[in-house]
Amino acid sequence: MKMMDAAVRKRLIGVMRIIVWVTLLVDLFFFFFYMITDSMVRSVPAYVLEKLLLPFAVNMVVYQFARKYESDKDHENENRNLVCAFALCTIAGSVSIFHGYYVPLWVTPSIVILFCTLFHDEKLQKLLLIYDYVIIILSAGVTSWEKMDQTYYYIQNAIVLVVMATLIGIMATVMNKYNQEMVGLTRNFHDKQLEYKEKLETDFLTGLFSRSYVESRAEEALKYCSEDNPCSVAMIDLDFFKSINDTYGHENGDKALETLGRVISNYMNEDLYAGRFGGEEFVLVFEGGEFDSHVMILEDIREVFARQSYDFMDKKVTLSGGIKCCTSPMEYQDALKWADEALYKSKRDGRNRITVAA
């Protein structure tokens, strides 16, 4: 949201800059037009001061303040939105106040309220509406003072604009609520996507990655392995897991699987990721580093897991494993087959050991 607000503020500050210079050019055009047609209703110095210098000075000061406030990173996002919105409304209001002879210009500050729905801030919208009322009253007052014979006409216009500004404010509030609902729906949809993605990538019991996620990452890694960047694929399996389930129940068997998941997760990083392959089998994939360190980590996991205790039985649970080092591109299924054969050699040789594939 902050990035979106920053983008909106950047655009609005750009709009302010355009308004400041376009307004000055328009004012200069009318000045020379009145001079050429000899229709100047006041003295040249008074006109230059009131219709050229004063509005340009107000607009430029407000624009520069908004630009500098935005560039100062110490200010809160909400305060930046407030300053930007009020600056734009002030510049639009100066056009309305200093050029009140053109009544349709009075509606320009009200339009700012609609622009600022992009900030999704209902409080800001209400403050802008109050500020808009002030600008309309000032515009009517200044114009009535200049043309006292048409005071009643300008008061009528002011009343109509107050009603219009109120309607625009209500419209802005409705749009703001609609935008917030859409943002909420989008965020909820995004959160659901992440939730579903996480469920697809994670094994709910062990907290490790899913089989499909490990496979997709390993396939990519094995495309680029080499002598300088070896990859290893390992398979581990809990020893006598079937007897644990048969003797103590599947619920307690799950506790052993959860324990192994916690032990493995302590070793996982960007170079080592693991997932549950199925049942009591797990796959670990090492990317980069030395092959000897891959074997040492696997041995550490075996030893740490073998020391774990359980509340449902007195004996320890062990694991067996096999690991295949790949120093050239290899298919994931081929590497997995080598690791699986090494795993079963560990089983045949007495279990609770790690075997390196030839």
For residue 306, count other CB atoms closer than 10 A to its CB: 14
Query: Tens of pLDDT along 51-74?
Result: 889 989 999 999 999 999 998 888
Percentage of the chain beyond pLDDT 90 is 45
CA angle at residue 295 from 290 to 296, to 5 degrees? 95
The pLDDT score that the predictor gives to residue 350 is 95
For residue 152, count other CB atoms closer than 10 A to its CB: 9
**At which residue do the structure tokens 């990035």 appear?**
3
Query: Tens of pLDDT along 104-119?
Result: 677 888 888 877 877 7
Sheet holding 272-278, edge to edge: 272-278, 281-287, 231-238, 319-326, 354-356
Instruction: Inform me whether the pLDDT recorded for 185 exceeds 60.
Output: yes
Query: Tens of pLDDT along 148-170?
Result: 878 888 788 888 888 888 888 88
Strands 319-326, 281-287: pairing kind: unpaired
pLDDT band at 194 (very low <50, low <70, confident <90, very high): low
Instruction: Inform me whether the pLDDT recorded for 232 exceeds 70.
Output: yes
Higher pLDDT, 247 or 157: 247
Taking the C-alpha atoms of residue 23 and residue 17, their distance in angstroms, rounded to an integer, is 10
Please give the backbone phi and psi of residue 100, each rounded to the nearest 5 degrees, phi first: -65, -10
The pLDDT score that the predictor gives to residue 150 is 80
The pLDDT score that the predictor gives to residue 189 is 64
The pLDDT score that the predictor gives to residue 1 is 63
The pLDDT score that the predictor gives to residue 62 is 94
For 322, residues 6+ apart whose C-beta sits below 8 A from its C-beta are: 234, 235, 236, 338, 339, 340, 341, 342, 343, 344, 345, 346, 354, 355, 356, 357
Percentage of the chain beyond pLDDT 70 is 94
pTM: predicted TM-score of the whole model, two decimal places: 0.51
The pLDDT score that the predictor gives to residue 92 is 87
The pLDDT score that the predictor gives to residue 192 is 64
The pLDDT score that the predictor gives to residue 349 is 96
pLDDT band at 103 (very low <50, low <70, confident <90, very high): low
* CA 57 to mean position of chain CA atoms: 39
The pLDDT score that the predictor gives to residue 97 is 83
User: Which of these CATH numbers, 3.30.70.270, 2.60.40.1290, 3.40.50.300, 3.20.20.10, describes 211-356?
Assistant: 3.30.70.270
Kindly report the average pLDDT of the chain as a whole number: 87
Strands 272-278, 354-356: pairing kind: unpaired
pLDDT band at 200 (very low <50, low <70, confident <90, very high): low
What number is the average pLDDT over the span 228-233? 93
Torsion sign over Cα 194, 195, 199, 200: negative
Higher pLDDT, 46 or 303: 303
Instruction: Inform me whether the pLDDT recorded for 207 exceeds 80.
Output: yes
Q: Are 262 and 320 in contact (CB under 8 A)?
A: no
The pLDDT score that the predictor gives to residue 310 is 94
Q: Tell me the two tokens of residue 78.
A: 């909400």
DSSP secondary structure string for all residues of 304-358: HHHT--BTTBSS---EEEEEEEESS---HHHHHHHHHHHHHHHHHTTSS-EEE--
Query: Tens of pLDDT along 117-152?
Result: 777 788 888 888 898 888 888 888 888 787 787 888
What number is the average pLDDT over the span 82-95? 89
Instruction: Inform me whether the pLDDT recorded for 98 exceeds 90.
Output: no
For residue 113, CA distances in Å to 92, 162, 221 come to 11, 13, 53
The pLDDT score that the predictor gives to residue 120 is 76
Least confident of 20-24, 49-53, 104-108, 325-329: 104-108
Q: Are 196 and 144 in contact (CB under 8 A)?
A: no
Domain ranges of the chain: 2-194, 211-356
What number is the average pLDDT over the span 6-24? 90
Instruction: Inform me whether the pLDDT recorded for 273 exceeds 60.
Output: yes
pLDDT band at 172 (very low <50, low <70, confident <90, very high): confident
Instruction: Inform me whether the pLDDT recorded for 197 exceeds 90.
Output: no
Instruction: Inform me whether the pLDDT recorded for 187 exceeds 80.
Output: no
